[in-house]
Structure 1
């Protein structure tokens, strides 16, 4: 697929801080996690604590306080646990944040719980079709990156305040695509670290 996503930079409030949830045991072994509600492991909790401690000081560097931001999370367990650890490290009441269903992770449908090596044996057609068009491929019983991008774009269009977001890897990728105008074919390969957070401000992005 050619072309770029239409950037939403002119309509999004800024700054925006995005945290991917911490590591889970399924992340560790490379399982297709998607819509499964897998909790953080101890590494994931440590990553969330790190991001909260760094973010607390970083807001001071920005000349901001936590009151300047809306905190919003995916409804999934791993995201909410990350958000609550993050807020605790920032000295905030852990459970005082918004949740939005549109920030859920992509659903991989029938292949959730499988690793790529397992898929190569049991569902080789999925591996092949993902390789051919990872952006547009609709996983059997699930979603495509394009579908996730559409629901995230709908959510973004409603936002009016600077935000601190905790959600997922695919959601992070499509959000970056929408903010920065990456080509759809580039979006599935964008980095999604769990031990740092993304700053988007004045039309550009950086890792903190």
Structure 2
């Protein structure tokens, strides 16, 4: 029996995204581009739900507790003409924690912790950032979140949690998933054992 369909949206752009800085658990707000991407995601989602003969109001909506995901969800819901703040929060959807690398760029990470950085280049899934979380650990919480779903669901979360969900559901491997760019302003649909991107 197929599992619930997941309409997955990564939060819109922030200033740290634009600068190539890793956010992790830091609460960085959307910038102007990010707010536009959130509205764009809402329009795309509306078309997908119409295609699937679903009413936007009948689905559950859930977001990461981080502000950039919540802002995106509220703009997306307003675009669908739904009450912006009527959605659930699930802490399992929070972004992968980057520990002391949060706020750093890749060159800064390499300069500050060259040995850990090199180890992580070899095993991005299993090696955590210093004081942070491995993708393997995030995959376990995303697997747990997915197992709790009882209906087709709209979710707004993060790039890291998207990659972890792909591995949890078998659409990508621990080797391939870290290399995937999770786009903003699009909708990913997990259905029938596959993941498709809609822009």
- With normalisation by structure 1, the TM-score equals 0.91
Alignment gaps of 5+ in structure 2: none
Find the aligned partners of 2:181 and 2:59 in 1 and give their Cα distance.
Answer: 24
Matched, 1:188 2:178: yes
| 1:34 equivalent in structure 2 | 24
Find the aligned partners of 2:52 and 2:144 in 1 and give their Cα distance.
Answer: 28
| 1:104 equivalent in structure 2 | 94
The answer on whether the counterparts of 2:2 and 2:192 sit within 8 Å (CA) in structure 1 is: no
> Which is further off, 147-156 or 125-134?
125-134
Find the aligned partners of 2:7 and 2:20 in 1 and give their Cα distance.
Answer: 26
The answer on whether the counterparts of 1:70 and 1:161 sit within 8 Å (CA) in structure 2 is: yes
User: How far did residue 57 of structure 1 move?
Assistant: 2.5
Stretches (4+) displaced over 6 A? none
The answer on whether the counterparts of 1:33 and 1:113 sit within 8 Å (CA) in structure 2 is: yes
Query: Secondary structure of 1:180's match?
Result: coil
Out of 21, 24, 48, the residue aligned to residue 14 of structure 2 is: 24
Q: CA deviation digits over 1:13-46, x for unaligned, max 9?
A: 1x21000000001011111110100000000000
Find the aligned partners of 2:41 and 2:172 in 1 and give their Cα distance.
Answer: 26
User: How far did residue 134 of structure 1 move?
Assistant: 0.4
The answer on whether the counterparts of 1:68 and 1:162 sit within 8 Å (CA) in structure 2 is: no
Find the aligned partners of 1:41 and 1:128 in 2 and give their Cα distance.
Answer: 32
The answer on whether the counterparts of 2:140 and 2:168 sit within 8 Å (CA) in structure 1 is: no
Query: Secondary structure of 1:72's match?
Result: strand
Out of 95, 103, 106, the residue aligned to residue 116 of structure 1 is: 106
> Which is further off, 90-99 or 180-189?
180-189
Describe how 1:37-116 pairs up with structure 2 within 5 A. Answer: 37-116=27-106
Query: Secondary structure of 2:169's match?
Result: helix
| 2:3 equivalent in structure 1 | 12
- With normalisation by structure 2, the TM-score equals 0.95
| 1:172 equivalent in structure 2 | 162
Find the aligned partners of 2:103 and 2:55 in 1 and give their Cα distance.
Answer: 40
User: How far did residue 195 of structure 1 move?
Assistant: 1.8
Q: CA deviation digits over 1:115-146, x for unaligned, max 9?
A: 11112222212321210110000221110000
Find the aligned partners of 2:104 and 2:113 in 1 and give their Cα distance.
Answer: 10
The answer on whether the counterparts of 1:36 and 1:112 sit within 8 Å (CA) in structure 2 is: yes
